[in-house]
């Protein structure tokens, strides 16, 4: 278990705000605390799994999306403990009511989805995860995704690299820093992805819970060069599949929120891929007045190299 220092969080947040934060200091601090960070995600995953394996009640929120005990228990743990790893505010799927007047003063914050893919959780498909990202100046600089059913944690960011860690190794890593955590992890990136890409078809990802309709113009441009296999994957696990070289392209049309994409964007950026608005081809930004994302697509380095025309903004969908 982690020490309960929640009573000191407010003072620590005040000190952090006065001292200021930048990317170098944030990444150094996360590197020093990396063993505790993966341990915290694994603890949240254990709580989620304990609910998943029992009978549980489902409550509908105001937007008709489902909520379970797993959502709230994971939220309470993460929202309470993340500021003890890095003392900045928390913006959560289950605590979204914080007004812009307060958020506008945030230079850095934790963006969390304590249970991404609750619909899949309710259906017991296994396609759900826990997503946490550190956002600085509107950019997710580090992300971590735990897939409880697979007992795997994915983490990383641009300039840091991205990695995959089997959960059974986590217990021995609490209190350890970057070097020891990375030595126990599998590095994801161009070499591994390129090797896999030689022997597999091109893969386009879609959602399991939301029907993915790709516009004819986009699909025609893709299939003019390659034949794509379609693969339905739940929640932010789609970003993990691209980061580990199992898929190439994930276009998303329709409603998503910042906490749905922040961790995945950081992890995919760590292997040289990205997540961009479909209209502007600019990277998604965070802590906006409206926390809803525009339509976007996520891509692998392999996709960007092979489809350069997709990265030229036309100002249209």
pLDDT score of 96? 75
pLDDT at 196: 53
Give the domain ranges of the chain.
6-188, 191-311
The pLDDT of residue 314: 58
Q: What is the per-residue pLDDT for 66?
A: 72
- Give the integer Cα–Cα distance in Å for 128 and 163: 19
Could you give phi then psi for residue 271, rounded to 5 degrees? -110, 10
Assessment of whether the complete model's pTM goes beyond 0.85: yes
Q: Options 3.40.50.1820, 3.30.540.10, 3.40.50.720, 3.20.20.70; which CATH number does 6-188 get? A: 3.30.540.10
Longest dimension (CA), the chain: 59
CATH class of 191-311: alpha beta
Residues 6 or more apart whose Cβ sits within 8 Å of residue 141: 23, 26, 27, 134, 135, 157, 158, 266
Q: Look-up: residue for tokens 């597999």? A: 200
Which pLDDT belongs to residue 67?
75
Kind and range of the H or E run holding 306: helix 301-306
Residue with tokens 């304590």: 114
Q: Count H helices and E strands in the chain, helices first.
A: 12, 14
Confirm if 170 and 39 have CB atoms less than 8 A apart: yes
What pLDDT is stored for residue 3 in this prediction? Answer: 33
pLDDT 10s per residue in the chain (317 long)? 333 333 344 444 444 443 457 999 999 999 999 999 999 999 999 999 999 988 777 776 666 577 788 888 999 999 999 999 999 999 987 667 788 999 999 999 999 999 999 889 889 899 999 999 999 999 999 999 999 999 999 999 999 999 999 988 898 999 999 999 999 999 998 555 454 556 679 999 998 766 667 899 999 999 999 999 999 999 999 999 999 999 999 999 989 999 999 999 999 999 999 999 999 999 999 999 999 999 999 999 999 999 999 998 755 54
């Amino acid at each position: 278990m982690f020490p309960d220092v929640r009573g000191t969080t407010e003072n620590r947040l005040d000190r952090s705000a006065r001292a200021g934060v930048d990317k170098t200091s944030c990444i150094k601090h996360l590197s020093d605390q990396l063993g505790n960070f993966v341990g915290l995600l694994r603890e949240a995953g254990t709580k989620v799994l304990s609910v998943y394996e029992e009978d549980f009640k489902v409550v509908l929120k105001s937007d008709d999306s489902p909520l379970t005990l797993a959502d709230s228990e994971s939220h309470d743990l993460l929202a309470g403990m993340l500021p003890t790893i890095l003392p900045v505010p928390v913006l959560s799927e289950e605590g979204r009511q914080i007004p812009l007047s307060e958020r506008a003063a945030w230079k850095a914050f934790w963006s969390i989805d304590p249970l991404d893919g609750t619909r899949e959780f309710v259906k017991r498909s296994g396609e759900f995860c826990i997503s946490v990202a550190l956002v600085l100046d509107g950019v997710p600089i580090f992300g971590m995704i735990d897939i409880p059913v697979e007992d795997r944690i994915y983490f990383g960011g641009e300039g840091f690299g991205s990695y995959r860690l089997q959960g059974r190794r986590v217990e021995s890593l609490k209190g350890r820093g970057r070097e020891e955590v990375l030595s126990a992890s599998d590095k994801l990136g161009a070499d591994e992805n390129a090797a896999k890409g030689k022997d597999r078809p091109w893969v386009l990802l879609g959602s399991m819970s939301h029907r993915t309709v790709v516009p004819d113009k986009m699909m025609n441009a893709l299939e003019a060069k390659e034949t794509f296999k379609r693969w339905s994957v739940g929640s932010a696990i789609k970003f993990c599949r691209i980061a580990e070289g199992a898929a190439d392209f994930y276009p998303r049309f329709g409603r998503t929120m910042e906490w749905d994409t922040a961790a995945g964007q950081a992890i995919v950026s760590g292997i040289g891929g990205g997540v961009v608005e479909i209209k502007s081809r600019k990277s998604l930004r965070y802590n906006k007045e409206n926390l809803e994302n525009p339509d976007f697509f996520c891509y692998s380095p392999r996709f960007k190299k092979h489809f350069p025309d997709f990265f030229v903004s036309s100002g249209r969908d």
